[in-house]
Amino acid sequence: MKTLLVPVDFSDATQNVLQKAAELAQELSAKIILLHISEPVAAYVPAGATIDVITAAPPAVESENIGVQEERLADLARPLKASGLDVECVAFVGLAVDDILEQAARHNADYIVLGSHGHGALYHLFSGSVVTAVLKRAVCPVLVVPARKS
């Protein structure tokens, strides 16, 4: 059985990603792994700070917050399961790109299906792009679903 890793961020692009993933899963008789990664909040460190003023990292996201994310994934999975697809949900705190690739390896994903928000070059210059980084580092095919249908 093939496996599709489908990272979602609950944005407007999520429904398009799920629709394409469901179509591909039906064609390939594949299992879908719905993945949501909550990234930890970065601590503010003033410019020019020395090592003695840098504080410890903030605590991990509370388990009840992960529970909320798991519930949201379960809500997304319900219609997919109702249509006969095999769907597993995974939610945790981590770094998006690294953990998408780690989960792809862990689940032996045959494909990664993720959405693109279509931000411009200036946005990517300052914030980077999960899609771009996954495309550069993935060892399996990656299907990028655009946020806009038209």
Question: Which residue has better confidence, 44 or 32?
Answer: 32
Q: What's the residue count for the chain? A: 150
- Degrees (nearest 5) of the Cα angle 71, 76, 81? 110
CATH number at 142 reads 3.40.50.620
pLDDT (mean) for 29-50: 78
Task: Report the distance separating Cα 80 and Cα 40, nearest Å.
Answer: 29
**Percent of the chain topping pLDDT 70:** 75
The domain total for the chain is: 1
pLDDT at 40: 79
Contacts of residues 78-86 at CB distance under 8 Å and 24 or more positions apart, as own/partner, are 80/18, 80/22, 80/25, 80/32, 83/22, 83/26, 85/22, 85/25, 85/26, 85/31, 85/32, 86/1, 86/31, 86/32
Domain around 43? 3-146
What six digits make up the tokens of 94?
């981590």
Task: Report the distance separating Cα 68 and Cα 60, nearest Å.
Answer: 15
pLDDT tens column, 70-108: 999 999 999 999 999 999 999 999 999 999 999 999 999
What six digits make up the tokens of 148?
């806009």
> Exposed e or buried b for every residue in 95-105, given b needs 16+ CB within 10 A?
ebbebbbebbe
Any bridge partners for residue 38, and if so which?
Answer: 93
pLDDT tens column, 59-76: 444 455 888 999 999 999
